[in-house]
Amino acid sequence: MSQPSAETMIEARAVEKWYPNGFQALRGADLTVRRGEVVVIMGPSGSGKSTFIRTFNALEDFQKGSITVDGIALSNDLRNIDAIRREVGMVFQQFNLFPHLSVLENLTLAPVLVRRRPKADVERQARALLERVGIAEQADKFPGQLSGGQQQRVAIARALCMEPRILLFDEPTSALDPEMVREVLEVMQALANDDITMVVVTHEVKFARQVAHRVVLMSEGVVVEEAEPEVFFTNPSHQRTRKFLDQIL
């Protein structure tokens, strides 16, 4: 496991968010992620995990507190948001591949459009990435023709093709059949060995133990516990964490 540097990549301070219907999903959530670090977020359903990591790339706005990503303050300034989205990739529970584009086009769309890179270049890189996630031979198929596990690996490759410095995962294996979970986790584990920063919402304990540098527990819109995996799973300091672990272990 590569060691994270001291440099801060994501810094969230006392983030509070209300949804338009008035529901407060975040009640002062804090998190600091260092460069190259892999942080796993756990917590009961509805505790605000998705909401929290979606604020990191401005898919959700927030009303109080501050978030800084790679030195750029997240504000309402649209230029900042665009800059941050280029640095932050996201992998969704439901894959969200573009069904009207081939696998290869799914990967090349953003780099060509957003980074204005030459198409031939991007295609070469895209094929290499597909090779890396183990589905090189599917490049010309459409997403609907792939299995769930293959789709999620394409989604990871698609995010990587933008060469982000941070990758966010929102329950990447929850929509998969058990036998496909492993192939996706293996890809993620391989990624963690590079120096990319990863924030992963997941309930995969084994992954958290083997790959994460830190595991945090969210509950009711705040980060309750933050610890190294061994400590988190064997000797957590909060009652809440123990209760949560009792339920999932």
Partner 1 sequence: MTTVLRRLRSELFPTRGDGLLSIALLSLLALAGVGFLRWAFFQAQWLVIRANATLFAVGRYPAEQQWRLWLLVGLLAAATGLSWGVLRSHPRRDRTGRLWPRNDRVAVAVLVLAGLWGPWALGLPLHLQARWWGLLALLLLIRWLAGRHGRRLGPRGLRLVALIWPVLYLSGMVLISGGLGLVAVPPSEWGGLLLTLVEASFAILLCFPLGVLLALGRRSDLPLLRWGSVVYIEFIRGAPLITLLFLGQNILGFLLPGGLAPDRVWRAAWVLTFFAAAYLAEAVRAGLAAVPRGQFEAARSLGLSYPQALGKVVLPQAMRVALPAMVGQFISLLQDTTLLSLIGLMELLGTARTVMANPAFLGKNAEVYLTLAVLFWCCCAALGLGSRALERRLDPQTIPSAS
Ligand X SMILES: Nc1ncnc2c1ncn2[C@@H]1O[C@H](COP(=O)(O)OP(=O)(O)OP(=O)(O)O)[C@@H](O)[C@H]1O
**Using CB under 8 A as the criterion, which residues of the chain lie in contact with partner 1 when the complex forms?**
57, 59, 82, 85-86, 88-90, 92, 94-102, 109-110, 113-115, 140, 142-146, 151, 155, 158-159, 162
Which of 47, 125, 138, 151 contacts ligand X by CB under 6 A?
47
In the bound state with Mg ion, the residue whose beta carbon lies nearer, of 4 and 48, is 48
**CB of 49 vs Mg ion, minimal distance in Å:** 5
**Residues 133, 164: contact at Cβ < 8 Å?**
no
Tokens of 172: 């990447």
How far apart (Å, rounded) are the C-alpha atoms in residues 242 and 246?
6
Which of 15, 31, 39, 50 contacts ligand X by CB under 6 A?
50
Q: How far is CA 138 from CA 131, 147, 154, in A?
A: 10, 11, 9
**CB of 59 vs Mg ion, minimal distance in Å:** 12
Count of residues engaged in binding ligand X, rule: CB under 6 A = 12
Q: Is 50 one of the binding residues for Mg ion (CB under 5 A)? A: yes
How far apart (Å, rounded) are the C-alpha atoms in residues 213 and 133?
23
Q: How far is CA 184 from CA 111, 181, 195, in A?
A: 23, 5, 19
How far apart (Å, rounded) are the C-alpha atoms in residues 199 and 205?
15
51 binds, among ligand X, partner 1, Mg ion, none (CB under 5 to 8 A by kind): ligand X
Which of 1, 14, 46, 195 contacts ligand X by CB under 6 A?
46
**CB of 211 vs ligand X, minimal distance in Å:** 20
The residues facing 64 across adjacent strands are 16
- Say whether 61 sits in a helix, a strand or coil: coil
Q: Scanning the structure block, which residue is given the tokens 């992954």?
A: 207
Residues 6+ apart with CB under 8 A from 92: 155, 170, 172
Q: Is 188 one of the binding residues for ligand X (CB under 6 A)? A: no
In the bound state with partner 1, the residue whose beta carbon lies nearer, of 115 and 243, is 115
88 binds, among ligand X, partner 1, Mg ion, none (CB under 5 to 8 A by kind): partner 1
**CB of 110 vs partner 1, minimal distance in Å:** 4
- Say whether 1 sits in a helix, a strand or coil: coil
In the bound state with partner 1, the residue whose beta carbon lies nearer, of 97 and 227, is 97
Task: Return the ∠ at Cα 196 (arms to 6 and 1), rounded to 5°.
Answer: 75
Q: Which residues bind Mg ion (CB under 5 A)?
A: 50
Q: Which residues bind ligand X (CB under 6 A)?
A: 19, 21, 23, 25, 43, 45-51
